[in-house]
Chain A
Amino acid sequence: MNQAEVSKLVSKLRIKVPAEPRKLRSPKGPEGRIDKLRKTVTGLIKYERIELNHNRGDEARQYAERLISEAIRYGDCHKPTMDVANYWLLEKELIHKLFKVLVPRFENCNTAYTRMLNAPRPLPSRVDDKVVLELRGNPYPSLVNRQSNNRLLIQNVLLDAAKYDYRQSKYAEMAEKIGQREEAQALEKKSKEPTKESSNESKTPEI
């Protein structure tokens, strides 16, 4: 039973954290592992959506979450946080993105800052599980297909248009029919007005 370290305060991550870190195989040992993760985290912050293997994606996700939560907690005037950001982001303009774009975006966020989705893989293959790792609130179209009721989907738009056309043609047909009947009735009225009344009288008792 170890004592928890108390010198530093950290915010709780909103994702599930495994008890043990994953080993990412690298000839450089633990340093190589961190280097790999640095590249991935930089890519994630830069492109906001990347596709990669599951192991590396899951591990990088934890580091990205920690980086963003540190940035939110301490802000850009805190020197240790700045050092950490400087270490993790290999392209230095991304530091500005982290503090000026991502921090305001996630400041009032109640959920995790990233999202990880399983990606499809070509079937007869022995490749690893692929995932798509993305920052929430990215500008790309959503990957989650929960839009069966969305009217703007092209299929729905086409169907709507087809329905509309069909309905319009039906209305036209009906209008034509009604017009013809009215014309016929008008003609009948003109020709035999007295007979019509007698015929009506004769019909009612039948009903």
Chain B
Amino acid sequence: MFRTLLNKLSTVPSSCGFHTTACLNEVRLLTRLRVVDNSEIGKRAMAEGKPPKVICVYNKKGVGYIGDRVMVAIKGQKKKGILVGLKQTQKVKVPKFDSNNVVLIDDNGTPLGSRIHVPIPTILRTVLKERTHAKGADYTKLLAIATRFV
């Protein structure tokens, strides 16, 4: 029914094909994110209405999940960040957020801001501890600046 209606309405033939399923809201290349810490650059980017874009997801799937490291283009600079909340459907008991949230960090894993002003999923605690290596970057500093866990 829907297809037939589409054919009726659109002048282009249906073989050109656009899919009509609901979007998955995955974090991929060029996804716009929301900076949720109070770092100077992040606050200014959000205030100007130019939220950061993902230009690299540091995992092998190319799709960012909770706790994954991403590189973002923000105000003409390259910064790294950690995904702390996702819009896509999550597993049971893992919270799903209304926006894709990111916290900016530097190369050592130290957050650029000093406070996160939205809730953070508790599963992030385990995920970040796993990702932290003794001599590498320490991501658990991010947990210290979180205000609230859900």
Contacts and interface: CB of A to CB of B under 8 A. Distances in A.
A–B direct touch, CB within 8 Å, in complex?
Answer: yes
B47 interface: no
Interface in B74-98: none
A30 interface: yes
Contacts of B1: 29-30
Interface string B1-26: 10010000000000000000000000
Chain A interface: which size bin? under 10
A30 B4 CA distance: 11
Contacts of B4: 29
Nearest to A30: B1
A29 B8 CA distance: 12
Contacts of A29: 1, 4
B76 to A, nearest CB: 49
A29 B4 CA distance: 8
Interface string A29-55: 110000000000000000000000000
A30 B2 CA distance: 10
A30 B1 CA distance: 7
Interface in B1-59: 1, 4
A129 B1 CA distance: 27
Nearest to A31: B1
Nearest to B3: A29
Interface string A94-132: 000000000000000000000000000000000000000
A28 to B, nearest CB: 9
Contacts of A30: 1
B109 to A, nearest CB: 42
A29 B1 CA distance: 6
Interface string A1-45: 000000000000000000000000000011000000000000000
Nearest to B5: A29
B58 to A, nearest CB: 36
A30 B5 CA distance: 12
A135 B1 CA distance: 33
A82 to B, nearest CB: 28
Nearest to A29: B1
B42 to A, nearest CB: 42
A137 to B, nearest CB: 38
A155 B76 CA distance: 102
Interface of A: 29-30
Interface of B: 1, 4
3 contacts: A29-B1, A29-B4, A30-B1
Q: Ordered nearest first, which 3 A-B pairs have the shortest CB separation?
A: A29-B1, A30-B1, A29-B4
